[in-house]
Amino acid sequence: MLENTSYQMKRRSIDELIQHLKTFELDLKFSVGIWYFSDHPSRFHAPLGEKRSIEERLEVIAKLKDYGVCALEAHYPNEINEDNLDLYKKFSKDTGIKVLSVIPNLFYESDFEFSSLASPIEEVRKKAIERLKTSLMLNKELDCEFCIIWPGGDGYENNLELTL
């Protein structure tokens, strides 16, 4: 069932709109991708700015808590992995900002140029499946709410069958 949003139809004059903007409050809750806080090359562009360590990025994210940031997302294995998992756990404990999702990075590496989970190349497909399985285990360990799988090179039209 869809949420009733008919209250949004209320017409207001300019003065009423200004008064409304001055009096209402939002309980802002955002998640942010840790990749956003450091420049990196991608298949779309070369690096454009300052490269930051994971620790430096977490420090920036911690400062955004008062502005509504309550969760973060990170890719496995390049941003979150078995070696820095304790850093993320400590960050969450110290700041109250939780890891919302550990996303398997199935799109950036050249191995995945022609697909990952749906790759016709068995070794590539197996690598992608193992990466997804590890990401799911980390999601479980961190009590994440979901796991994002961005299809990247797989596209949306390819059939995908996983046996985990």
Q: What percent of the chain has pLDDT over 90?
A: 59
Average pLDDT over residues 51-71: 96
Q: Is the pLDDT of residue 164 over 50?
A: no
Average pLDDT over residues 6-31: 90
- Cα dihedral sign, 129-52-140-158: negative
The 10 Å Cβ neighbour count of residue 7 is 6
The 10 Å Cβ neighbour count of residue 68 is 13
Q: Is the pLDDT of residue 37 over 50?
A: yes
User: Among residues 51, 31, 9, 13, which one has the least CA distance to residue 145?
Assistant: 31
What's the pLDDT band for 67 if we cut at 50, 70, 90? very high
Coil, strand or helix at 109: coil
Question: Model confidence over 110-159: pLDDT tens digits?
Answer: 898 888 998 889 999 999 999 999 999 999 999 998 998 887 666 554 45
Question: Model confidence over 18-29: pLDDT tens digits?
Answer: 999 999 888 889
The reported pTM is 0.79
Question: Model confidence over 98-119: pLDDT tens digits?
Answer: 999 999 999 888 898 888 998 8
Q: Is the pLDDT of residue 30 over 90?
A: yes
| Structural domains of the chain ordered from first start | 30-154 (3.20.20.150)
pLDDT of res. 109? 87
User: Per-residue DSSP letters for 10-65?
Assistant: ----HHHHHHHHHH------EEEEGGGGS----SS----S----HHHHHHHHHTTG
Q: Is the pLDDT of residue 32 over 50?
A: yes
pLDDT of res. 162? 47
Two structure tokens written together for 96: 């109250």
Alpha carbon distances (Å) from 135 to 82, 109, 132, 148? 10, 16, 5, 10
Give the total residue count for the chain. 164
Average pLDDT over residues 12-35: 92
